[in-house]
Amino acid sequence: MKKKRLTKYIYLVHFRKQNDMARTFLRFQEHYESPKFMDKVFTHKEFKQWYTKLKGKFTYYQEWDGFNIPSRVLKRFYQGHFDPLSKNEKMILKLFRNEKHDFYIIAVHGKAHVEILKHELAHGLFYTHPAYKKEAINIMKKYSLNHIRKELLSLGGYNKKVLNDEMQAYAISLSHELKSEMPKEMKKELTVLFHTFIKK
């Protein structure tokens, strides 16, 4: 895995293989936004049992092309609550041990498509730029999005607390992966907002 700074507050961790990336970020990501494990301490085994029951089989390592977490998620891992840590979890903590400010981590694998990177960057902006977050929410409030919220919740990977973040990220990039149609005008407005802030 390799660490790269993309903006003042957003870091990219790049992996060669999807499987390695997903294994590394599973507990970080699900501690952040899982409908079942958000803000909870859990083992890989406990998560696998729940996910297998939800999906019918364990496909997590093949399902996700990118990951994104705010730096605050790392705190309980540093404190030892999630011990024993995997080798790769320890490597993530080592990579960011000397960072003193709040920041955001995104992860992709292989020759990641630009659209995946844009999607993850949108998550990063939503967390690191309060003005971006405020304006993105104001834009989305103008549209009827309950059908999109329902679809995201039905996927089993998102807590309802992160739906605004997910909707704006999908509007910026990867909306084609959802069955629900995104309002075209909303996508245009959010895309303009994204490009305005990514330059800052």
The full set of domain ranges for the chain reads 1-111, 113-200
State what percent of residues in the chain have pLDDT above 70: 99
Q: What is the pLDDT of residue 108?
A: 95
For the entire predicted model, the pTM comes to 0.89
Tens-place pLDDT, residues 7-21:
999 999 999 999 999
Q: 104 forms bridges with which residues in the sheet?
A: 10, 70
DSSP string, 32-93: HH-TTTTT----HHHHHHHHHHHHSS--HHHH-SEEEEEGGGGHHHHTTTTPSPPHHHHHHH
What are 80-126's pLDDT values in tens digits?
A: 999 999 999 999 999 999 998 999 999 999 986 789 999 999 999 99
